[in-house]
Amino acid sequence: MISIINFGSAKTHEILGCLTALGFTASIFDWKEAEKVDWKKTKGIILSGSPILLTETNCDIYFEKFNFLKNINVPVLGICFGHQLLGLLFGASVFRSDEVRTVIEIKIGLKDTLFDGFDDKIEMAEDHTEGITLPDSFIRLASSEKYEVEAMKHFILNIFGVQFHPEISGENGLIVLNNFCKLTLTN
């Protein structure tokens, strides 16, 4: 089972719908009740987006609840807010920028499992106003004209972050989610 942690995004059920369509089993859990999740039964974790702006909130509660992700042995994918939260957990900075609420071109800089089946550019839906710097223990996989860190991966762990929203990006998004979910089959 894949655990989807809901940080209040209206798109969280879209993530579940995509995973179900791809043939994977998943459940949604509210982030405030993360300690109730049996992480030993989880094959993968997806952190959703959120209407919360990390530049305008005290992040300590998130650090306390999700610090365990720094040592987890299952694949993790952060989407938008989840991507930014992962970055902060590993030492990145978050910044406020222009609002991006459209489909944009993403440039894949480094081929990796997450982007299997793509050439060097893809179009993905964006819906955010914040971004992050690249954490020291991560490599940048993709960027765009708007954001330097559109996708990243931890050097050692199967921890990924994407600034874009694959759950509302049509076929391209399904491919990215499927590529991530395939990693959960080996756990």
Q: How many domains does the chain have?
A: 1
List 78's β-bridge partners, or say none.
Answer: 47, 161
Catalytic residue among 14, 126, 130, 167: 167
Strands 128-132 and 26-30: unpaired
CATH of the domain at 50: 3.40.50.880
Q: Which of 18, 150, 165, 181 is catalytic?
A: 165
Predicted pLDDT at 82 = 97
Q: Which of 14, 80, 130, 150 is catalytic?
A: 80
User: What residues of the chain score a pLDDT lower than 70?
Assistant: 187
CB atoms near residue 165 (< 10 Å): 22
Residues 6+ apart with CB under 8 A from 52: 7, 8, 81
CA distance 187 to 107: 30
Please give the pLDDT value at position 97.
Answer: 81
The answer to whether residue 80 is catalytic is yes
181 is catalytic: no
Does residue 59 sit in helix, strand or coil? coil
Whole-number pLDDT of residue 122: 94
Q: How many CB atoms lie within 10 A of CB 60?
A: 8
pLDDT in tens, 26-67: 999 999 998 888 888 899 999 999 999 899 999 999 999 999
Tell me, what's the pLDDT at 187?
Answer: 63
Note down the domain range covering 50: 2-184
